[in-house]
Chain A
Amino acid sequence: EAQVTQNPRYLITVTGKKLTVTCSQNMNHEYMSWYRQDPGLGLRQIYYSMNVEVTDKGDVPEGYKVSRKEKRNFPLILESPSPNQTSLYFCASSPSPGLAGVEQFFGPGTRLTVL
């Protein structure tokens, strides 16, 4: 089954404790992206990757890191989480962005709480 998977689905942590949220897709997509979803703000892009070893900042990259060493994986790293990073996070992938008719597939989400 074609899908985007994220782990963990739920995470409660404390300020300053480094964490990684994994994202994997099995569709051989070149493009992958991370979004955070907050009430009243919708989905905002954190980072994206056009292909292996190519990553770029989205609209809200502060406090986050990513890496793209393999085509299928795109982990999101919070080196020193803070309470304002409490949010619902989504990973997404697509064959290529910015093209009409190209669907972006989303993972199930990771709910992160930073105390």
Chain B
Amino acid sequence: GESVGLHLPTLSVQEGDNSIINCAYSNSASDYFIWYKQESGKGPQFIIDIRSNMDKRQGQRVTVLLNKTVKHLSLQIAATQPGDSAVYFCAENGFQKLVFGTGTRLLVSP
């Protein structure tokens, strides 16, 4: 069946470093992916998305890369800040629902 998962449950970085969060998906027919950020005590918040006809998309301090050959998605955060500490989810926007990965916790230390 389809699944969206993450390689690492926790990622610890120093403030100012670049962070890379990875995600694997199994449904090769997926055509749209989203990254969400969830801060403690809050609901998931949209960060950035990418369509399957793209390899890369950039936002403010964030970049999403899509490798359809190996069904891999990554979120890059430049100059990571303490406010970036959160759990990050990739999600596949399937028919009538989102399919979420299990999440990666990003810890940013000063």
Q: Contact residues of A with B, CB < 8 Å?
A: 4, 31, 33, 35, 40-45, 48, 50, 56, 58-59, 90, 92, 97-109
Contact = CB atoms under 8 A, between A and B. Distances in A.
A41 B99 CA distance: 11
Contacts of A108: 41-43
B43 A109 contact: yes
Interface residues of B, number: 21
B42 A43 contact: no
Contact of A48 (B32, B42, B51, B96): B96
B106 to A, nearest CB: 16
Contact of A106 (B44, B93, B95, B96): B44
Contacts of A4: 43
A43 B100 contact: yes
A45 B44 CA distance: 14
B17 interface: no
Given A45-B98, A98-B96, A104 B103 contact: no
A36 B41 CA distance: 14
A4 B44 CA distance: 12
B42 A33 contact: no
Contacts of B32: 100-101
